Structure 1
Amino acid sequence: MIQHEMASFRHTHSKIIEGLDNHVLAAFIFVAADPCIVNLGPGYPDLPPPAYIKEGLVEAARVDRLNQYTRGFGHPSLVKALSQVYGKVYDRCIDPFKEILVTVGAYGSLFSTMHGLVEEGDEKSVNKASLTSADWVLDPDELASKFNSKTKAIIINTPNNPVGKVFTREELQVIADLCTKYDMLCFSDEVYEWMVYKGHEHIKIATFPGMWERTITIGSAGKTFSVTGWKLGWSIGPEHLVRHLQTVMQNTLFTCPTPLQEAIAQGLVREYSVMGSPDCYFSSLAVELEEKRDRLATILQSTGMSPVIPEGGYFIITDVTALNTDLSQMGDDDAYDYKFVKWMIQEKKLAAIPVSAFCGVDSKKEFEKYVRFCFIKQKKTLRGVSVAQPAEH
């Protein structure tokens, strides 16, 4: 019998993935398979996508040529549709072939952006470090302290996951002023752009003076049309930046599935014709989600938790410290929110995501009292939360 001594095997992982093996979603994904658990952890809908999107995929698959490779940087009909929709949003002409890249999800867009525009050792600033937990506003002094002449780029996320904050025009102007002052790039993750609630407005930082030429804006078909399993995203920006993202794409994933791109293209064309009206899915989904947000917030408050009402997106974070839950049996090594989520899954059959998983080392302790719930769910799923055993407090 041949015995393999794995301990002495000389091959190991590359440095680039150091510390990336323990992903929070992977750690809690097992709960999805248990039908007894109300799973409000991962950020995917259990609502059906628009019927015309599903029908569009069926029709696309029936066309033989659409089952083959398409243009690597984005299916022609899709980039043209994106150019139409976002040309209206930006109030500028967007070249569909030179200023747009279609990728495998928004993750793919961020991957292409970072590998195409950022060198190892370049300094990046991530906006979440400058959100104060007391009032969820951007702290301009703290943000400014992160910048210097060596800073290459800032990554922002609005509407924000997990907080649900929508950055105001004044806050975005602070960021824009720093970008122009230090001649930096801006990578703006705006995948929840259509999910903004009453009293708030999503504003694209790329529309600010001097920002188009230095901004890559990331969007998502999965979030736009509630088809997260399709994994289609896009990057929009000036040609002199986007061409480097295209280089990354052509040398890594090459292209995205043609039928999926065609179906999204047809969906965008349809919505473009009704943009700004209540019939537009971009508008109607936000109205539907606002009701779900308020329902879940009420349920969480009734258990003794303190939810932070989101301005956008489809997550709600809640402070669980008032429950004073005994977590002594959940181990000592994990952060408080990790232990609380494990306890809640085990004892209350309810799953969420610990918020400290989104934080850097410096801010992790500050956010251990929060857990995140997803509310883009059917009524019966949210009803499952209300009939779960009430939390102890």
Structure 2
Amino acid sequence: MPLVGELLETRNRWEPYRLLDPSGEVVEAVTLYFRDLQAAGRAEATVRSYGMDLLRWFRFLWAIEVPWDHATRVEARDFCRWLLIAGKPIRSRNGDQGAAAPASSGKSYAESVRAHSETVLRRFYDLHRDAGSGPILNPFPLDRSRRGSRANAHHNPMEIFRNERTGLYRPRVPTRIPRSIPDEEFNEIFARLPSHRDRALVAFYVSTGARASELLSTSQGGVDPGRQLISVVRKGTRLVQELPASTDAFVWLRLYQVEMQELIPNGRRQPLWWTLRRPVRPLTYHAVHRMFERVNERASTSATLHALRHTAAYRMAEDPALPLTDVQFVLGHAQLTTTQIYLTPRQEDVIRRMLAHHAEQTRQAARRSEPQPAPGYRPETLDVLFGSQSR
């Protein structure tokens, strides 16, 4: 499928992103949807995520020459099949977007990506159906297979109610255990970090459990070393929250501040994190992500930047002196059930305990195979009489 069109970042707060068609014209239907998202209080990162799903759908429609407002369930079905079978395209290194269709990598899109895409497109068409600017029938319908049964017939009244309506073409997303970084691998990664700034970032990530974008929102006035607190802007609520961090994180932070003292502007509202290359600019998520990828290449590891948050969450949840509600507050989870996933044992811990179990079973079997004295004889008496080595 040709990689035509573009999701353009405008750096305009009123219209942060625009979807452009192959001729460079703005797709007004998507602009209307972006405005609706912004009015609902969605973050710019959310608008970008939704925009990438819409760009993928519009590229499919442009390839088959079907207008977006003439799409039916057939096109929606084939698009979902394409995500499952065709696989991700192999992009050129120079980023050119020509008319030729790129080769497929053979790796299908993950279930979470396909599920997110289905939800975004269904809501996109719901908006235009209600506004009268789109098709009357949503190409991405809900699953009506249980229409004849009573709604929420099997819902447990003691549990939190969740809207379980799902799309007809929405795949089932398996429940995944969060992947944390083992201590040995983390130590190897930390030893390969090239600068005080990167060491401070990783130390804060693994001690606060903050998301990557949240930590980058910290201003210079949001650091309180005396109380060991750092303030971040939460991703969902956009509220400022203080998070406790380790003493090591503040030590690396101070070394970074001394190193960059004459290079970055001072001010309580100025960003805390800056690029090391000159001219210095506020550090972005993509720059931190690329930095962590380079460190992984040097350490021959495969950890992700978000795995640092999972590592911090597991370490907090394993502390018996730390209530799970405190972990929920620090991680910024809306529901305690989300925090409870970190009570699931990690794979490496399960393997270690199971290997110890098998070794203990082998030792017990070896002891059972040793000859035992006849009933009525005490083992210590036989040791005196025959010697312990004779047995």
| TM-score, normalised with respect to structure 2 | 0.22
Q: Which structure has greater strand proportion?
A: 1
Larger Cα-atom Rg: 2
